[in-house]
Amino acid sequence: MLENGVNMLKKFVSGAAISICLLLLDQYTKYLAILHLKGKKAIPLIKGIFELQYLENRGAAFGSFQGKQLLLLAVTFLALLLMIYVYVKLPEQKRYMPLKATVILLFSGAIGNMVDRICRKYVVDFLYVKVIDFPIFNVADCYVTIAAIALIILIMFVYQEDELSFFNH
């Protein structure tokens, strides 16, 4: 029983440590964007394709839900609780490492933008794919997007339904 508790604590601490590192990277890039991009013209990195451009996003994905900070915070908080539940339920076997990494990445992205919403009342975006006029985004958005794609691939092609049955217990 004590060994189970110790293993659970190790699992939680390692996941939290990785998530904190990812969060710090996200927040540092946003700090740099505020410091070097706010109030300035866009900086092309690859002319006509990719540039750094400062934007204060007071909504969610693609600027939706503008001014609905309380709703966005509530939904994010519930999603974070769900991710913690999933992470804790995941078996310790190596087979589930990709799923654990995906949950940590998703969690880190959600936390990164939630910190912005709480501390700044907006999310700092600064990455712009000009060639396709894609909405401006940030590092936390990259985490969420990569994790969502990975999750779809893992569920569709890697794990069988019976391998995920531990969620039913």
Active site residues per annotation: 125, 141
Q: Please, what is the angle between helix 97-119 and helix 139-153, to 10°? A: 150
Beta bridge pairs of residue 52: 43, 127
CA 27, distance to chain mean position in Å, is 12
Q: Quick one: 106 exposed, middle or buried, by C-beta within 10 A (0-12, 13-18, 19+)?
A: buried
Gap between the Cα atoms of 45 and 107, Å rounded: 29
Q: Residue 64, by phi and psi: left (phi above 0), alpha (psi -120 to 50) or beta?
A: beta
